[in-house]
Amino acid sequence: MKPTTDPRLAPNESPKTYRVKSFGCQMNVYDGERMGELLDEKGLTPAPEGEDADLVVLNTCHIREKAAEKIYSDIGRLTKGKTQKKAPMIAVAGCVAQAEGEEIMARAPAVSMVVGPQAYHRLPDMLDKAVRGERATDTDMPAIAKFGALPARKRRSPTAFLTVQEGCDKFCTYCVVPYTRGAEISRPFNDLIGEARKLIEAGAREITLLGQNVNAWAGEDDVGRPVGLAGLIRAIAKLDGVERIRYTTSHPNDMEDDLIAAHGEVDQLMPYLHLPVQSGNDRVLKAMNRAHTAESYLRLLERFREARPDIALSGDFIVGFPGETEAEFEDTLSLVDEVRYSQAFSFKYSPRPGTPAATMDNQLPREVMDDRLQRLQERLNRDQRAFNDALVGKTCDILVERKGKLPGQWLGKAPWLTSVWFAQEGGDTVEIGDIVSLKLVDAGPNSIEGRLI
């Protein structure tokens, strides 16, 4: 993939503007913001919307085949003038960079830099090299070192992500994350409180704590007592100016009692839990190496509902895992019927290179997966719609996140993470970051309409 348009930069010219395009999970979004902050510090500025950037960072995801292959078409579009008029300098970051760094360098000469998710604090040095014409790859995993080398937070937004835990030791047999992100690590308590303070100073009213297994976070508080995620949440809730706290993604096997209790005790902790289950069948769960059963998962959700009766539940599902029978798939449908999720994410199994499931017998044909996904999604959509319908007539607070497409229209989130929109009337003044009280008047499949009261 050699550039076929004129390059934006002359040889040895430093880029002045940049754009970071993040794909995949929220942790990638967080990393994308942090790379932006590094580039800001280096004197670059974000390219204005719709204008060419001198440097484009593709922050990639390796979780499923489709996501991973996308990077080659994105590079092609950038170099052929389809995304912007002139070909930019290109950096590939994220989980595809980690998994396939060498291959990218060989296959795409237009790429100047390949940098993994644990090494991007070194991006500024790599950029100096790239300007001198030296292509550079860095897929080291120094993990915690990265955070210490990043500049202070300054992004202005009412909602902010804060990565507290990284990596995964669970090795579910289908998943690449333990290989692309490395072993589980927890960032130290005081660093996190410091970063949360900075985010609040910059205008954040809602903080979402992130981790591949966020509830595996463990540390010592400011007086040296061992604490888990619930302790961290309770400490962040005490900071002035935090209105809302969320966390994602949790694993059923790392759930501590105190986190469940916190849902009934910490006002700012929102009534929402994303807890992936993947399958409702115990044989499949075992083959996936999930180390929980459908029953233990359901009992866990019951305890959350006891602590916080209005809690909205969300999950992840994989259909068509190798060897999954029709009857085993139907166990997943039954589990969905029992839980009644407010929203959920469902995927066709995608064999990933290097994972044990990719070489298991009995990989299922595409048609079977398509059919199962469609049947699962019908039920999940039904339940999401029912959840939204049940909110109509209620009053709730929403955090205003941005303007809608129509004049006077605003968008935000209800406590249950449901998207809500409302129209500003006559004398009302509304600003991004406000928490407004709304009466919910009409529900759609994906959002709810509210009226200011």
CB 38 within 8 A of CB 121: yes
Minimum distance from residue 355 beta carbon to ligand SAH (Å): 7
CB 183 within 8 A of CB 167: yes
Minimum distance from residue 382 beta carbon to ligand SF4 (Å): 26
State which of residues 25, 136, 227, 237 lies at the interface with ligand F3S (CB under 6 A).
Answer: 25
Q: Pick from ligand SAH, ligand F3S, ligand SF4, none: which does 349 bind, CB < 5 to 8 A by kind?
A: ligand SAH
Task: Return the closest-CA partner of residue 376 out of 325, 324, 318, 289.
Answer: 318
The footprint of ligand F3S on residues 35-74 (CB under 6 A) is 61-63
Residues contacting residue 380 through CB under 8 Å, at least 6 positions apart = 317, 336, 341, 343, 344, 346
Comparing every residue's Cβ against ligand F3S, the nearest one is: 24
175 annotated as ligand-binding: yes
- 18 Rama class: left (phi>0) / alpha (psi -120 to 50) / beta: beta
Backbone angles phi, psi at 52, to 5 degrees: -60, 145
How far, in Å, CA of 98 to CA of 96, rounded? 5
State which of residues 18, 19, 28, 39 lies at the interface with ligand F3S (CB under 6 A).
Answer: 28
Between 172 and 294, CB nearer to ligand SF4: 172
Contacts 24+ apart (CB under 8 A), 66-72: 66/350, 67/23, 67/24, 68/96, 68/99, 68/100, 70/23, 71/96, 71/104, 72/1, 72/107, 72/108
From residue 15, how far is each of 76, 132, 133, 285 by CA, in Å?
A: 20, 12, 13, 49
Q: Pick from ligand SF4, ligand F3S, ligand SAH, none: which does 171 bind, CB < 5 to 8 A by kind?
A: ligand SF4
How far, in Å, CA of 72 to CA of 68, rounded? 8
The binding site for ligand SF4 (CB under 6 A) comprises 168, 170-172, 175, 177-178, 212-213, 251
- Position 269: which residue type? L
Minimum distance from residue 29 beta carbon to ligand F3S (Å): 9
Between 187 and 352, CB nearer to ligand SAH: 352
Q: Pick from ligand SF4, ligand SAH, ligand F3S, none: which does 387 bind, CB < 5 to 8 A by kind?
A: none
Minimum distance from residue 193 beta carbon to ligand SAH (Å): 24
Encoded one letter per residue, x for contact with ligand F3S by CB under 6 A and - for no contact, window 5-24 reads -------------------x
Task: Return the closest-CA partner of residue 168 out of 195, 146, 196, 143.
Answer: 143
| CB atoms closer than 10 angstroms to residue 115 | 27
DSSP string, 72-105: HHHHHHHHTTSSSSSBPEEEEEHHHHHHHHHHHH
The footprint of ligand F3S on residues 172-231 (CB under 6 A) is 176-177, 180-181
- Tell the residue number behind the tokens 């484009």, with chain if given: 56
DSSP string, 152-203: PP----SEEEEE-EE------TT--HHHHH-S-EE--HHHHHHHHHHHHHTT
Minimum distance from residue 45 beta carbon to ligand F3S (Å): 26
396 annotated as ligand-binding: no
Between 118 and 418, CB nearer to ligand F3S: 118
The binding site for ligand SAH (CB under 6 A) comprises 63-64, 168, 174-175, 177, 212-213, 249, 251, 276, 278, 316, 318, 347, 349-350, 352
Residues contacting residue 325 through CB under 8 Å, at least 6 positions apart = none
25 annotated as ligand-binding: yes
CB 438 within 8 A of CB 451: yes
Between 17 and 59, CB nearer to ligand F3S: 59
Q: Pick from ligand SAH, ligand F3S, ligand SF4, none: which does 62 bind, CB < 5 to 8 A by kind?
A: ligand F3S
Q: Pick from ligand F3S, ligand SF4, ligand SAH, none: which does 178 bind, CB < 5 to 8 A by kind?
A: ligand SF4
Minimum distance from residue 97 beta carbon to ligand F3S (Å): 10
Question: Which residues carry a binding-site annotation for [4Fe-4S] cluster?
Answer: 25, 61, 95, 168, 172, 175
> Contact residues for ligand F3S (CB under 6 A)?
24-25, 27-28, 61-63, 94-95, 176-177, 180-181
List binding-site positions: 25, 61, 95, 168, 172, 175
